[in-house]
Copies of this chain bind each other. A is one copy, B any other.
Amino acid sequence: MSPPGRSTAVDPERRRDAERTKAEILKIATEEFAQRGYAGARVDEIAARTQTTKRMIYYYFGGKERLYIAVLESAYAEIRVAEQSLAVEHLDPVSAIRTLAEVTFDHHESHPDFVRLVSTENIHRAEHIAKSQALTNLTNPAIDLIATVLEAGREQGVFTADIDAVDLHMLISSFCFFRVANRHTFGTLFGRDLTDPARRDHYRQMLGDIVVGHLTSPGGAGGGTSGPTTAAR
């Protein structure tokens, strides 16, 4: 027991714990940076929302920018873990790709803060990510997984489109990302709440149909009717 009446008013039982303090700062900072962006977030506000003080932010993270980079690193680490624990090898290629798209969809759905951080980081032209070796020096399990499934699908003759893994990942990500990142302007301007739970399954299914449909399209690479493309411009 700590001496009664001597510790902070917040929690008489609170003990010194570096890891807990660091983790708490990181958690609150993630929320603040995600909600207000890098420039809009306030170090004082982050400190106020923790059980500790601003001093600790500088003690453990060294400054606002370094804290922000730490937030990005932990956010990306989380999705890497999720991607690595994804097992679709036992599925047939079509089911595997659909599952992969759905998992990506669900991950964006359940991690809006991550989506907002990525948006913010793109406003800053990925300059902070570029400073982090932990983020740049890393292979991407999602791409490898997609590449494996794509190859299997082609060998079995069910995938006809000649799309590569990175482009397919972009196709999937763009749909998932936009629905979460741009829901506010889209909802305001088009009167449709993209993240309405009642419509969520519809969009998940739609994504799967589009991805699978594209990969298995009868025309194969290029889609066949590319005549109008050049004619139109």
B219, A213: Cβ atoms under 8 Å?
A: yes
Q: Which of B167, B210, B212 contacts A206 (CB 8 A)?
A: B167
A170, B179: Cβ atoms under 8 Å?
A: yes
With a CB–CB cut-off of 8 A, which chain B residues contact A232? Answer: 91, 95, 98-99, 102
* B-contact bits for A215-233, CB 8 A (1 contact / 0 none): 0011100110110110111
Among A13-21, A50-58, A121-129, the stretch that binds chain B is A121-129
- How many positions in chain A have a CB within 8 Å of any CB in the partner chain? 75
| Assembly CA distance A180 to B116 (angstroms) | 16
Interface residue A154 (Cβ < 8 Å from any Cβ of B): no
Interface residue A74 (Cβ < 8 Å from any Cβ of B): no
Please give the distance in Å from A212's CB to the nearest CB on chain B. 6
Q: Which residue of B lies closest to A35 (CB)?
A: B123
A188, B126: Cβ atoms under 8 Å?
A: yes
Among A23-31, A59-67, A135-143, the stretch that binds chain B is A135-143
Please give the distance in Å from A145's CB to the nearest CB on chain B. 14
A95, B228: Cβ atoms under 8 Å?
A: yes
| Assembly CA distance A170 to B122 (angstroms) | 20
Which of A92, A99, A174 has most B Cβ within 10 Å? A174
Measuring CB to CB, which residues of chain A are less than 8 angstroms from any residue of chain B? Answer: 36-40, 91-92, 94-95, 98-99, 102, 116, 118-126, 129-130, 135-136, 138, 140, 143, 163, 166-167, 169-171, 173-175, 177-179, 181-190, 192, 194, 203-206, 208-210, 212-214, 217-219, 222-223, 225-226, 228-229, 231-233
29 contacts between A and B (CB under 8 A): A37-B39, A37-B40, A37-B120, A40-B123, A91-B228, A99-B232, A118-B185, A119-B123, A120-B123, A121-B185, A122-B182, A136-B188, A140-B190, A166-B190, A169-B190, A170-B178, A170-B186, A171-B210, A174-B178, A174-B179, A177-B178, A181-B181, A205-B229, A209-B226, A210-B210, A212-B225, A213-B223, A214-B214, A217-B217
